Structure 1
Amino acid sequence: MTETRTILIADDDRAIRTVLSQALSRAGYNVRATSSAATLWRWVEDGEGDLVITDVVMPDENGLDLLPRMKRVRPDLRVVVMSAQSTFTTAVKAAQRGAFEYLPKPFDLKELLAVAERALAQPATALPPDDGQEAGERLPLVGRSPAMQEIYRTVARLTTADLTVMVTGESGTGKELIARALHDYGKRRTGPFVAINMAAIPRELIESELFGHERGAFTGALTRGIGRFEQAAGGTLFLDEIGDMPPEAQTRLLRVLQEGEFTTVGGRSPVKANVRIVAATHRDLRAAIRAGLFREDLFYRLNVVPIRLPPLRERTEDIPLLARHFLERARASGLPAKSLSPEALERLKRHAWPGNARELENLMRRLAALYPQEIIGEEAVSAELAEADAPTDGAPRSAETLEQAVERHLKLFMAAHKDGMPVRDLHERVISEVERPLLRLALSATRGNQIKAAALLGLNRNTLRKKLKDLDLPVVRGLT
């Protein structure tokens, strides 16, 4: 008969202890629950429990501080950390101190049961050696959306590994932040972090930039040049916009990844490549492979661990947190301290953010610098977004929907009239102003043919004629 496993729960929230105890008991486990870190420590010291599920914040001690002690006295004990402090730093600390898994609150009960089952089925690992270089309380990544929580957990797992990582995402989503986090919190954090943007280097110089060159290797090579691979020795090499790498450089990079060594341009002796590679791109590399622009074998060498960064429009719940974070960064750089009204935060969430987090940060710095009020309202935010979206060459606002454009204009119109006499018949006025350009464009597209224009608009021809008359729009004769 299989012995029933015991799970120890520590959480100062009685409701969470009750829910977890009932769920784990129904799953067939013995459960002991406490609100005290001291009680949990006593149980662990006494050899009780096969698995610990602990909160971070408890009245008498932080669960993360207790974790290394538990791992020292019970190296084989698996520990799952759960926390409402769902930041990147919390996830990394949990991984660095030997946690089997980190779960941000609120979590799905089915997921916790699956984690418990997996933890009890796998052999535990001992606490990683402490080199005294634990990361501080910086926040290199910000957000509490489910998508960001999954990224935190992935990056946290990779801090104890040295795998090649491919980061994908639109421009401005923070791909270099991921690369720096992997470096700053990883095994190579005492080494250099070296970044190179493939799109910014002339094609004929990329191989020299990456691998270095010998004196006389090409015209103008008067001395030996050190490449980025040598500069990053012992650390991390970040290959940004890898999709823009020319084919000949792709071939050389593939050889480095396969053989672990490279030769300089014009050199003969191989040099050991002692770097961790993190690559990034905003391009669809699979489409580039199909088009013959990117090597498939190189893609699979780089894409060992893929991390996709979602665009800001897919995690709008993170926008208020990011906005406050960027305003704080602006204040730390010497700009006045500012905050946003609730209405302003809601306005930010309705924007399309084609420039993603980078666009949001630039907006926050601009608001902090240009507006005197301490609490910035919706009108200021709308005005700045309208100015930023304004086309400079007659091109349309590609990221702005028709509804967003109409709403933006209406808010500016109503703000301009809020202190004057109320505007009468606003609904009728708005409808007529939207219909005018619509009818003009439909007639233009059909070269004045009202039958075709009516079909295009989904209107009866007589209805179209009446609208043209009511709106005092010219009727083109002879093109019916």
Structure 2
Amino acid sequence: MSRASARNVLLVEDDTAIATVIIAALEDEGFKIEHCTSVAARDGWLRGHAFDVMLTDVMLEDGDGLASLDSVRKAAPDMPVIVLSAQNTLDTAVRASDSDAFEYFPKPFDLDELVQAVQQACGGSGSSANLPDEPDDDGMPLVGRSQAMQSVYRMITRVLRNDLTVLVTGESGTGKELVAEAIHQLGSRRSGPFVAVNTAAIPADLIESELFGHEKGAFTGAVAQAIGKFEQANGGTLFLDEIGDMPAEAQTRLLRALQSGRIRRVGGRQEIAVDVRIVAATNRDLVPMISAGTFREDLYYRLNVVPIELPPLRDRREDIDVLCQHFLSQAVEEGLPRRQLSADALEKLRGRNWRGNVRELRNVVYRLALMARDDVIDPGSLADIIGDEQLPIGQSGDVRTSGIGQALETWLAAENPSAGSVYSQAIAAFEKPLIEHALGRTSGNQLRAAKLLGINRNTLRKRIGELGIEPDRFARPL
């Protein structure tokens, strides 16, 4: 990095070790640093001195560095503020954005990135006007404090002030719709509707009608006018999930709508102006699809204005503890017994292969809350209920001692089970892992998997689609 001319920086940080490192790095780049450790000392420095930029921690000796920024704005309205925080949640990132921070860095941070941000702040003015009134902090949709999630939080806060189109990518179960909900709930459009549509779940011949609506008589069965998702989302956010599965003709019409801001109902002649923010998501790699001609390149660039990639759970295992606690609390709110996980049980969960990512973890935690016999779940209870491996069946395959056997005993022991409930519960709980296990044994070969399961290949293909299974991820050498 090039050496900057001497400029004044106020560092408000009560962690001596962190302050020492920051001071050394900035002084090496030619900055002059004044350091204090409290809100009161900060305000004292601002009353008598001018600074080009201020770096502040959130939790200080005598108060909240973010909550008290009003006095900073009065003393130095044009001074950029960079926020540092060990409170690494989406809530803190949003508070930093709402406070008009120039940049937000969760601890631990990349020192080179911090120095670069200070240089950029000194070379320009502060960020743009504040967001609307601060949103309710309760019910934040995303949970996690890992470095991988901090990158996601920072990207989310950067799109709250604008209506740029966002493309969220990541494996199934990582929480792509939660990102879309966060962008909507925390942004300027939260007073408008949030409309979600899974493009993969709509038949190809109906997807245009679903998105753009249709006029009466537009096609067989169109007995009345229908308003599409674009019009339903007017003034708010439209979330297009599984965008990689959209048919080619619908891609063309979607591109036209995004370019013009206008739609036309199927069978209609009048163009209708719509004001929507688009957040799209996919678990597929769209770049090879462009090369194969199955996804439009121009649509890809129209959607991929701001990319946000969600990490798989295996890359953020340190979040499993807080996620488990979050789901256990949710389970109590939904009427399930209050449970706790022992330290050893949490260690076991951190070591599992979470193919279904956060969605799978949530389902496992709910199953534990329902079926555990003790308030504290230990590794033994864990193995009894969900097995030692990825699938509910243990290595021995003995249904009497496996998670399946335990689940069946619990359901059959219910005082007044509804007619057919045990069968439907068992099918719902074990059909997907059973099919995934067969695909894993056959390296994703659906014909061989169907033979292994003793079912028709077309039936297997249908259930794979309905259950949201991705057979391609099982394609590996035997």
TM-score, normalized by length of structure 2? Answer: 0.78
SS of 2:34's partner is strand
Larger Rg: 1
Aligned to 1:423: none
- Is 1:9–1:32's contact at 8 Å kept on the other side of the alignment? yes
Structure 1 residue 114 corresponds to structure 2 residue 120 = no
With over 3 angstroms needed to count, the CA separation of the structure-2 counterparts of 1:335 and 1:116, relative to structure 1, is same
Tell me the CA shift for residue 318 of structure 1: 1.4
Aligned to 1:296: 297
- Is 2:81–2:126's contact at 8 Å kept on the other side of the alignment? no
- Size of the alignment, in residue pairs? 397
Aligned to 1:355: 356
**1:385-424 to 2 correspondences below 5 Å:** 385-386=386-387, 389-390=390-391
Structure 1 residue 167 corresponds to structure 2 residue 152 = no
**1:226-265 to 2 correspondences below 5 Å:** 226-265=227-266
CA deviation map 1:131-186 (0-9, x unaligned) = 33423143321112221111111101111121101111111100000000011111
**Counterpart residue identity of residue 312, structure 1:** L
Tell me the CA shift for residue 72 of structure 1: 4.8
Structure 1 residue 207 corresponds to structure 2 residue 208 = yes
SS of 1:237's partner is strand
Tell me the CA shift for residue 320 of structure 1: 1.4
Structure 1 residue 219 corresponds to structure 2 residue 220 = yes
- State which drifts further: 89-98 or 172-181: 89-98
Aligned to 2:65: 63
Tell me the CA shift for residue 285 of structure 1: 1.2
Distance in 1, Cα, partners of 2:73 & 2:138:
23
- Is 1:165–1:277's contact at 8 Å kept on the other side of the alignment? yes
| Runs of 5+ consecutive residues of structure 2 not aligned to the other structure | 403-478
Distance in 2, Cα, partners of 1:390 & 1:132:
46
1:6 to 8, 23, 31: 8
Tell me the CA shift for residue 386 of structure 1: 2.5
Tell me the CA shift for residue 73 of structure 1: 4.5
**Counterpart residue identity of residue 77, structure 2:** P
- Is 2:13–2:36's contact at 8 Å kept on the other side of the alignment? yes
| Runs of 5+ consecutive residues of structure 1 not aligned to the other structure | 398-404, 413-480
- Is 2:106–2:150's contact at 8 Å kept on the other side of the alignment? yes
CA deviation map 1:53-73 (0-9, x unaligned) = 001111322111122442354
- State which drifts further: 271-280 or 331-340: 331-340
Point out 4+ residue stretches in structure 1 off by more than 6 angstroms. none
Distance in 2, Cα, partners of 1:128 & 1:230:
29
Distance in 1, Cα, partners of 2:113 & 2:55:
13
Distance in 2, Cα, partners of 1:388 & 1:261:
51
Distance in 1, Cα, partners of 2:99 & 2:392:
51
- Is 1:5–1:29's contact at 8 Å kept on the other side of the alignment? yes
Tell me the CA shift for residue 47 of structure 1: 5.0
Aligned to 1:146: 147
SS of 1:203's partner is coil
**Counterpart residue identity of residue 4, structure 1:** A
Distance in 2, Cα, partners of 1:279 & 1:28:
44
Aligned to 1:85: 87
Aligned to 1:50: 52
Tell me the CA shift for residue 391 of structure 1: 8.0
Distance in 2, Cα, partners of 1:24 & 1:297:
43
SS of 1:64's partner is coil
Distance in 2, Cα, partners of 1:42 & 1:257:
51
Tell me the CA shift for residue 196 of structure 1: 0.3
- Is 1:209–1:228's contact at 8 Å kept on the other side of the alignment? yes
- Is 1:71–1:98's contact at 8 Å kept on the other side of the alignment? no
- Is 1:159–1:186's contact at 8 Å kept on the other side of the alignment? yes
CA deviation map 1:180-202 (0-9, x unaligned) = 00111111111110000011111
Tell me the CA shift for residue 382 of structure 1: 2.7
- Is 2:86–2:106's contact at 8 Å kept on the other side of the alignment? yes
- State which drifts further: 336-345 or 270-279: 336-345
Distance in 1, Cα, partners of 2:384 & 2:281:
34
SS of 2:59's partner is coil
- Is 1:80–1:100's contact at 8 Å kept on the other side of the alignment? yes
Distance in 2, Cα, partners of 1:16 & 1:391:
46
1:94 to 93, 96, 101: 96
TM-score, normalized by length of structure 1? Answer: 0.78
Distance in 2, Cα, partners of 1:378 & 1:391:
15
Aligned to 2:284: 283
**Counterpart residue identity of residue 308, structure 1:** E
**Counterpart residue identity of residue 255, structure 1:** R
Distance in 2, Cα, partners of 1:199 & 1:90:
35
**Counterpart residue identity of residue 105, structure 1:** K
SS of 1:264's partner is coil
SS of 1:243's partner is helix
Aligned to 1:342: 343
- Is 1:319–1:348's contact at 8 Å kept on the other side of the alignment? yes
CA deviation map 1:359-406 (0-9, x unaligned) = 0001111111111212111122233332884489xxxx9xxxxxxx69
- Is 1:71–1:127's contact at 8 Å kept on the other side of the alignment? no
Distance in 2, Cα, partners of 1:139 & 1:89:
7
Tell me the CA shift for residue 277 of structure 1: 0.2
- Is 2:243–2:281's contact at 8 Å kept on the other side of the alignment? yes
Aligned to 1:477: none
SS of 2:63's partner is coil
2:32 to 23, 30, 33: 30
Aligned to 1:425: none
- State which drifts further: 141-150 or 60-69: 60-69
**Counterpart residue identity of residue 324, structure 1:** Q
SS of 1:267's partner is coil
SS of 2:145's partner is coil
Aligned to 2:450: none
- Is 2:140–2:182's contact at 8 Å kept on the other side of the alignment? no
With over 3 angstroms needed to count, the CA separation of the structure-2 counterparts of 1:215 and 1:44, relative to structure 1, is farther
Aligned to 1:468: none
Tell me the CA shift for residue 276 of structure 1: 0.3
Aligned-pair identity in percent equals 51
Aligned to 2:407: none
Distance in 1, Cα, partners of 2:178 & 2:55:
30
SS of 1:181's partner is helix
SS of 1:102's partner is strand
Tell me the CA shift for residue 36 of structure 1: 1.1
With over 3 angstroms needed to count, the CA separation of the structure-2 counterparts of 1:128 and 1:246, relative to structure 1, is same
Distance in 1, Cα, partners of 2:364 & 2:231:
38
SS of 1:128's partner is coil
2:107 to 105, 110, 113: 105
With over 3 angstroms needed to count, the CA separation of the structure-2 counterparts of 1:344 and 1:48, relative to structure 1, is same
Distance in 1, Cα, partners of 2:329 & 2:32:
47
- Is 2:352–2:389's contact at 8 Å kept on the other side of the alignment? no
- Is 1:67–1:99's contact at 8 Å kept on the other side of the alignment? no
